[in-house]
Chain A
């Protein structure tokens, strides 16, 4: 794909859906970064940076404006992290950087060099779901599923931080993840269950 300087893969589901696998690669880039403003005088249009995502290094040439979320979704074809609000208000884009949960939509990709990013795609081990992923399925903790990757990334960190030992605490420390389908009771149940399993593991 024209915009991807990362390792070549087979056609992705997203590539086929958007038509970017063949003829229409450019609109995808344009949609991610509207060229509404001319470059600042002397601004470097591209920076070569290395992103370490789920244990793999990816070299990409990015406009400095690119957020980590757009880098993941538009340049690395990792569309698990979702764009809900793009302004820090919903948590759909939650990923881990050096083991801490953060928002990819307010993180400039350039600031992430040399740090370890974990996304929802990196949670499963050898094809086995993370206990949190399994618990979300078991407890039916979603409806449309759009908020779910962010919920799960946030929930894993919430348990690791020690903020999921009561339901009340879980609700408070999961308040950065909104669910428009209001699956909240089942999300809390899934986290309660997964917390026990994570403690045993």
Chain B
């Protein structure tokens, strides 16, 4: 690991001013992404600002009218166990419960979680010269390499890395917003606008400005949030990233879809909401045929690169199963 300056921020104001004081600063929350990638020499911050003391002000888990408020420093395990989250937003609890391991969930913060990096093997291993995300302009070793787990949606000719996280897939599906604060003040971003598609700049992953701090998330409750499910398909039963996942929330009236919210995980370049699948279901009776039609719409623009071709069909079947199971839930 390269040497770095370690700074401890006592509060938000200090965190922001420490980050403004030097370029190349990274905030440190649970460290389960940052420390891992610093050991691999993939992330090389000159300064690390420990923001764990901000948990005092930014770890709320609360229903505020018709919104769920989640602080950026809330830990994955605490959110997953929270009774109001389990009751009113089952898919949020499930997406967290099914992620990583109990130890990691005790450490990891929601802010760090949504900013986790791809698990593309060439990104994580600096012995490979070609990785546009790690080294802009160097090429992409994954295009014709080991890409079984990489993305089929939202990819570009420059990068086919997948966004690996579970929770962010749900935030995208539910139309959450992100509270951000930086030198330029506070702003609220639609969660769908936080991550960027790779295009020809895969190294620029988010719309955050240097030094901006995520302080929390706001998730709107709706008539669809209680009838919801996060289904995760993976190589082993537990402690594994998704090969494909589906976040589904439904408002049904007599078997017909009034509102559908649909997110797809594991298969896309960024946390993915499928507006196409939602539109395909709107007003239709939910059955195998309409679920399949929605899945076909969701993956209509998918692109495969050899090894990962099977994940288009796997992604569709995952969504079909999630839709059918969600429709059967008692609420």
Contact = CB atoms under 8 A, between A and B. Distances in A.
B35 interface: yes
B2 A176 contact: no
**Of listed B1, B3, B102, residue having the most chain A CB within 10 A:** B102
Contacts of A37: 1-3
A158 B5 CA distance: 36
A65 B43 CA distance: 13
Interface string B95-106: 000001111101
A87 B46 contact: no
B238 A175 contact: yes
A108 B31 contact: yes
Given A43-B3, A158-B102, A107 B107 contact: yes
Residues of B in contact with A, size category: 20 to 34
Contacts of A65: 1, 3-4
A182 interface: no
Contact of B101 (A40, A42, A107, A176): A176
Contacts of A126: none
A163 B102 contact: yes
Contact of B50 (A38, A100, A111, A158): A111
Contact of A91 (B4, B28, B101): B101
Given A88-B36, A111-B28, A39 B102 contact: no
Nearest to B47: A40
A146 interface: no
Contacts of B48: 64, 108
A67 interface: yes
A8 interface: no
Contact of A106 (B4, B36, B46, B238): B36
Contact of B32 (A43, A88, A100, A177): A88
Contacts of B2: 37, 40
A174 to B, nearest CB: 8
A40 B5 CA distance: 8
B62 to A, nearest CB: 21
Contacts of B237: 175
A64 B35 contact: no
B3 A91 contact: no
**Which among B2, B32, B77, B106 has the highest number of chain A CB atoms within 10 Å?**
B106
B169 interface: no
B141 to A, nearest CB: 20
Given A37-B3, A40-B4, A87 B103 contact: no
15 contacts: A33-B1, A37-B3, A38-B3, A43-B5, A64-B4, A64-B6, A64-B48, A67-B35, A86-B39, A106-B30, A106-B104, A106-B107, A107-B31, A154-B103, A172-B238
Interface of A: 33, 37-40, 42-45, 47, 63-65, 67, 86-88, 91, 94, 100-103, 106-108, 110-111, 154, 157-158, 161, 163, 171-177
